[in-house]
Amino acid sequence: MGLRKKILLYSHDSYGLGHLRRSQTIAHALIDFMPECSVLIVSGSPIVGQFEWKHGVDFMRVPGITKLHNGDYESHHLNIDIQELIKLRGALIAQTIDTFEPDLIIVDKEPLGLRGELVQALTKAKEKNIKVVLGLRDVLDDIISLNIEWQRKNIYPQLDRFYNEIWVYGVESMGSPLQGLPISKEVERKIVFTGFLNRIGNSASFSTQKGLKKIDHDKDFLLGMVGGGGDGDELIEALMSTYEHGDEKLLPIALILGPFMVKDAKKHFLERAKKLKKVEVLFFSSHIECLLHKAKGIISMGGYNSFCEILSFDKPSLIYPRIVPRREQYIRAERAKKEGLIGILSEEDLKDLNALKVKLIDLPFGQKPSEKRNLDLLLGGLPWISNRVRGLLT
């Protein structure tokens, strides 16, 4: 078909890996479907350069912002005020619209960007008649908190002003992120459910195991992961302590701490893992699909990408969802548990190491998501997005 079109993805990334990994998944799917296209990801993530990118996909890193546990933001490296930094980032993104001249813009999660940094770029896009899509994960937050936030940011009128379509990366049967919000009929008509995003990918290869040294990847093992790791200490501590108490029935476990876990915590867990034959610690893996493919069970935080990985690789799982600064993970986990797709770990479970040990021993024999739902119907997001993008570009 010869589509030499340009697509810009805005990745709202200030905390963790979720937005960036979702943008990477979509970008790679688009390039697989339309190899002639160029996809540029705009992100502030400090580790965007550590990922592998397919030919046709590249990134532009704007100065980074860190989200603190209390929800506030600060500059990641530059010694300037947060408002100055937002102004700088906004100007850079707007200039990118002028120079890259995308045919389509896909905005991840934040309708106006971080603290409104996208308004200038979105205004340019509207002037240039560039199609703009807002992509939302299946859950944003509890409705009361989200409504207060969007009212404060004046989001509602901008949904109609700037966006041609709103894509929800989930299925309507498991709930809508905008249900209960005071959106207009015009905005409601723009909402489409794409399905969850399959994390296996068209070109993923699992013939060789990458990253593990202590654990034999040809034998059964569990995988513990905490996303970016900034809030994963509690789960890793409980898993590590369980293995320190020991039991021959426990399978070996690989723990991925995440690039944003505090350095002292990483060092602490690594030292403890050195004394345990069945525990291997990784700081980060850009080939996590290999580990997911081999693992017999997953213990994880409850972020969107982790949930998609559990579905994609059809693994029995235990999710420990965080409840601050948003209740997103908890809401998703409760919905998925009700569907029979996952199991949930509570704070009480993490404190009772004997009970946690039993859950870990039983996990490989637990229910897979495919035993409850047709995964092809859940994981249709990437083909839908690819076809829709082609339609918008033509």
* pLDDT, tens digit only, all 394 positions of the chain: 457 899 999 997 765 678 899 999 999 999 999 999 999 999 998 888 888 899 999 999 999 887 766 667 788 888 899 899 999 999 999 999 999 999 999 999 999 999 999 999 999 999 999 999 999 999 999 999 999 999 999 999 999 999 999 999 999 999 999 999 999 999 999 999 999 999 986 444 554 455 788 998 789 999 999 988 888 999 999 999 999 998 899 999 999 998 889 999 999 999 999 999 999 999 887 778 889 999 999 999 999 999 999 999 999 999 999 988 889 999 999 999 999 999 999 999 999 999 999 999 999 999 999 999 999 999 999 999 999 999 999 8
φ, ψ for residue 87 (rounded to 5)? -60, -40
Q: What confidence score (pLDDT) does residue 70 get?
A: 61
Alpha-carbon distance 144 to 72, whole Å? Answer: 19
State whether the Cα torsion 75-47-311-200 is positive or negative: positive
Alpha-carbon distance 235 to 225, whole Å? Answer: 9
Alpha-carbon dihedral angle through residues 145, 125, 305, 210, given to the nearest 10 degrees: -150
Which amino acid is it at 365?
F
Helix axes 18-33, 304-312, angle to 10 degrees: 50
Strands (E), 138-272: 165-169, 191-193, 222-225, 253-256
Q: Is it true that the peptide bond before 35 is cis, omega within 30 degrees of 0?
A: no
CATH topology of domain 6-197+379-393: Rossmann fold (3.40.50)
Alpha-carbon distance 341 to 310, whole Å? Answer: 9
In the chain, where does the domain assigned CATH 3.40.50.2000 lie? Answer: 6-197+379-393, 222-373
Residue listed under structure tokens 């990483």: 266
CATH topology of domain 222-373: Rossmann fold (3.40.50)
φ, ψ for residue 314 (rounded to 5)? 55, 60
Q: Report DSSP state, residue 177.
A: T
Q: What confidence score (pLDDT) does residue 16 get?
A: 65
